[in-house]
């Protein structure tokens, strides 16, 4: 989710009173419903800084109402009905691997993949993350005499429409140093292989030898 309003960014502007949050929520629910019609496996959700904007706005500017939890992302999108589990900010997804959104205390790098790798070196686990909107993976290997270990930093890109008239108001010139795409982790016991899928401007990508729309 994006939730450009209400948030601290829209405070004191006309955007604050547009009331788009519930329209955006209906779009989010529809997307979850579409996903569920084609996939019946587990879905785990890590809340990012954009997902929590409404709740943080309520907590700051109307704390008496914040205890209702009505603007929490799992309540807004009705995770219970869609079979979605909200998990913590640092969620283990495979042996030696952590998934996180990336906004929890890590310094950002302009070099694709480096933010995730720096996070991996900080916590001692390979890291897959969003937040930076870049699509890249970087390894770091230590050891000697054939006894080595490798940490991976994987950044999962974005699926935002950055064309003029489509991009959010805070991206007036689009996103010059972002990459559209997503990542998949192939997991077999302790073996993990990250794979990146770049997306074209028209939203298409190649996987398993086929072009997908």
| 24-38 CB burial, b ≥16 within 10 A, e <16 | bbeebeeebeeeeee
Helix or strand or coil: residue 140? Answer: strand
The pLDDT, as a whole number, for residue 129 is 97
Residue 8 pLDDT: 67
- Counting as low any pLDDT under 70, the low residues of the chain are 7-10, 16, 169-170, 172, 174-175
Question: What is this structure's pTM?
Answer: 0.89
Output Rg (C-alpha) for the chain, integer angstroms.
Answer: 19
Per-domain residue ranges of the chain: 1-87, 88-213
Q: Of 202, 49, 21, which is closest to residue 131 (Cα–Cα)?
A: 49
What pLDDT shows up at residue 168? 73
pLDDT at 9: 65
Q: If 0-12 CB within 10 Å is exposed, 13-18 middle and 19+ buried, where does residue 211 land?
A: exposed
First to last CA, the chain: 21
Tokens linked to 167:
């991009």
């Amino acid at each position: 989710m994006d939730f450009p309003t209400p948030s601290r960014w829209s405070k004191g502007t006309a955007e604050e009173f547009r009331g788009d949050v519930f329209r955006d929520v209906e779009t989010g629910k529809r997307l979850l419903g579409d996903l569920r019609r084609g996939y019946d496996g587990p879905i785990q959700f890590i809340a990012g800084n954009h997902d929590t904007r409404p709740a943080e706005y309520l907590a700051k500017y109307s704390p008496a109402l914040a205890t209702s939890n009505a603007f929490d992302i799992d309540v807004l999108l009705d995770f219970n009905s869609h079979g979605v589990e909200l998990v913590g900010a640092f969620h283990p997804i495979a042996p030696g691997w952590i998934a996180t959104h990336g906004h929890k205390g890590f310094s950002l790098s302009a070099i694709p993949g480096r933010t995730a790798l720096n996070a991996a070196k900080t916590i001692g686990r390979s890291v897959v993350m969003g937040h930076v909107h870049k699509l890249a993976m970087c390894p770091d290997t230590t050891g000697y005499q054939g006894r080595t270990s490798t940490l991976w930093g994987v950044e999962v890109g974005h699926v935002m429409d950055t064309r003029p008239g489509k991009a959010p108001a805070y991206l007036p010139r689009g996103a010059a140093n972002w990459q559209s795409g997503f990542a998949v982790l192939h997991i077999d016991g302790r073996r993990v292989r990250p794979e990146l899928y770049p997306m074209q401007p028209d939203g298409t990508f190649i996987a398993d030898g086929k072009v997908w729309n």
